[in-house]
DNA sequence: CTATATTAGACAGTGCAGCTGCCCAATAGC
DNA sequence: GCTATTGGGCAGCTGCACTGTCTAATATAG
């Protein structure tokens, strides 16, 4: 199919498709002539994935590119893929503060018995959150996060269970990315729904 | 204190402080003369809160304003406050699709026994996520979310337990906002840490 | 085989968000 | 009185994610 049909099938404007091609998010079609290229089903699917990462999850274009590159490069090594993909955060991400004291996170990891890479940016996110909460006068340290960490552990178990299905490595890699990224807004939404329900029980009973 | 000291104490540039004043995120100081105003500790604290919502959580300036307005207006009614504050999502938020079929979310809520307002935007986030996952070929419906919802319920219980402390309504309101918004990136970070730890156990043992 | 439409590719331009710099008149403090 | 700082307003800047336009080459209908 040509670009106009690709546009119709995916719901993405042709100018935008060209932009994604330029930015390397979408692989080029098979050129059949100087001004003609042929696109396939994989392009439709890839475009939908791009729109999901950017539109639903809110990743920047360059963050989405990092994710997609990791998928195609490490499709066969789920563990390595997840490690790479964890480096991607929406927007600027955590403003990596070299002087930050992340020993608190270390204590939390030790308590939970989690073995985690030194430079997983999630460490910095937690360090920064704890610091911010304290700077706002809350009495909060890593101990307060332990119950949340236990729930996160169960969540992660659910996540990885769902990767057991597919044998095709590329499919498995895509599913890992979808479950990690696209589920994030949904998990936060579930928390808010549960908060409202619980708030009704406590304050409106 | 005057604006330059407020800038020094909060780490926010004076031009930016003026911008927040214009946008109504920060209440004006007490004017002592035509070109002089007096700021207090509450301004330092408020500025830190603004930076946390925008910089750490990634809210837009106008979304942060909505949150802050809700805090000062409904400080005495925690339930009402939470309801208002749930309307705030980072960036564009869910692209409210009127035609979307949210009966799936209804089924999920019924199953969980959650009573939730009709127009909580979290509903749309979940509807959209499910639709997107299916459009990408995953076999996913509300049943798949039930285990996550059960964990979200426990999370919400932890959250609301931490509101039991303060008697001062304003303090309670602020804490509700901090726990809901600032903890969101941290919870996602915990999930990613747990995913990496679990992935190590499963694929590198 | 001509006339009209479409396309790939390059690049400039647009719209918006979040600041940032600059100017001015009015103090503050010495 | 004199110099430095301030409040307030507004224009301008930067980065991002597109979007529109142009050109030459090609497809396709008549």
pLDDT in tens, B27-55: 999 988 888 899 999 999 999 999 999 99
pLDDT (0 to 100) of residue A149: 98
> So what's the pLDDT on residue B14?
95
Structure tokens at A21: 């091609």
To test the contact with chain A by mutation, choose from B191, B200, B205 the residue with the greatest count of A C-beta atoms within 10 A, namely: B191
| Nearest residue to C6 via alpha carbon and C1' | A4
pLDDT reading at A94 higher than 80: no
Residue nearest to nucleotide C10 (CA to C1'): A22
> How far apart (Å, rounded) are the C-alpha atoms in residues A191 and B204?
32
How far does the CA of residue B170 sit from the closest CA of chain A (Å)?
Answer: 13
CB B81 within 8 A of CB B71: yes
Residue B61 CB in 7 A reach of strand D: no
A137–B196 CB contact, under 8 Å: no
- Distance in Å from C4's C1' to A4's CA comes to 18
Q: Report d(CA B138, CA B149) in Å as an integer.
A: 19
Return the structure tokens found at B53.
């919502």
DSSP state for residue A54 in the 8-state scheme: I
With an 8 Å Cβ cutoff, are A122 and B184 in contact?
no
Average pLDDT of chain B, as a whole number: 91
Question: What does pLDDT average to over chain A?
Answer: 91
The residue in chain B having the minimum alpha-carbon distance to the alpha carbon of residue A108 is: B190
* Residue A107 binned pLDDT confidence (cut-offs 50, 70, 90): very high
Ramachandran region of residue A47, left (φ > 0), alpha (ψ -120 to 50) or beta?
Answer: alpha
Residue B74 CA to C2 C1' — how many Å? 74
- The average pLDDT across A94-109 equals 80
CB contact under 8 A, B192 and A52: no
> Which residues of chain A neighbour B147 with C-beta distances below 8 Å?
158
Which nucleotides in chain D lie closer than 7 A to a protein CB?
5-10, 16-21, 24-27
Query: CB A125 to CB B191 under 8 A?
Result: no
Specify the pLDDT at position B93.
Answer: 55
Distance CA A34, CA B162 (A): 65
N-to-C CA span, chain A: 59
Residue A96 has pLDDT above 70, yes or no: no
Q: What is the DSSP letter of B29?
A: P
Q: What domains can be seen in chain A, in order of their start residue?
A: 1-56 (1.10.1660.10)
Q: Which position has the higher pLDDT, B101 or A122?
A: A122
- A95, with CB counted inside 10 A (0-12, 13-18, 19+), is exposed
Cβ distance B196 to A86 less than 8 Å, yes or no, reads: yes
For the cut 80, the answer to whether the pLDDT of residue A142 exceeds it is yes
| A190 vs B contacts (CB less than 8 Å) | 122, 126, 145, 148-149, 152
Q: What is the pLDDT at residue B123?
A: 94
pLDDT band at A6 (very low <50, low <70, confident <90, very high): very high
Nearest residue of chain B to residue A96 (CA atoms): B56
pLDDT < 70 regions, chain B = 91-99
């Amino acid at each position: 199919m040509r670009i106009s049909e690709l546009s119709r099938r995916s719901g993405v404007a042709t100018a935008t498709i060209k932009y994604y091609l330029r930015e390397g998010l979408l692989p080029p079609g098979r050129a059949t002539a100087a001004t003609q290229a042929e696109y396939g089903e994989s392009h439709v699917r890839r475009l939908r994935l791009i729109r999901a990462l950017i539109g639903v999850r809110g990743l920047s274009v360059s963050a989405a590119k990092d994710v997609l590159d990791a998928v195609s490069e490490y499709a066969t090594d789920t563990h390595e893929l997840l490690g790479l993909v964890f480096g991607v955060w929406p927007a600027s991400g955590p403003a990596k503060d070299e002087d930050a004291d992340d020993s608190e996170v270390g204590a939390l990891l030790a308590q939970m018995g989690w073995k985690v890479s030194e430079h997983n940016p999630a460490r910095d996110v937690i360090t920064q959150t704890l610091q911010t909460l304290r700077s706002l006068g809350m009495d909060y340290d890593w101990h307060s996060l332990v119950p949340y960490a236990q729930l996160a552990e169960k969540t992660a178990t659910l996540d990885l269970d769902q990767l057991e299905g597919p044998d095709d490595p590329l499919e498995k890699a895509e599913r890992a990315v979808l479950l990690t990224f696209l589920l994030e807004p949904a998990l936060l939404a579930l928390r808010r729904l549960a908060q409202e329900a619980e708030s009704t029980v406590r304050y409106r009973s």
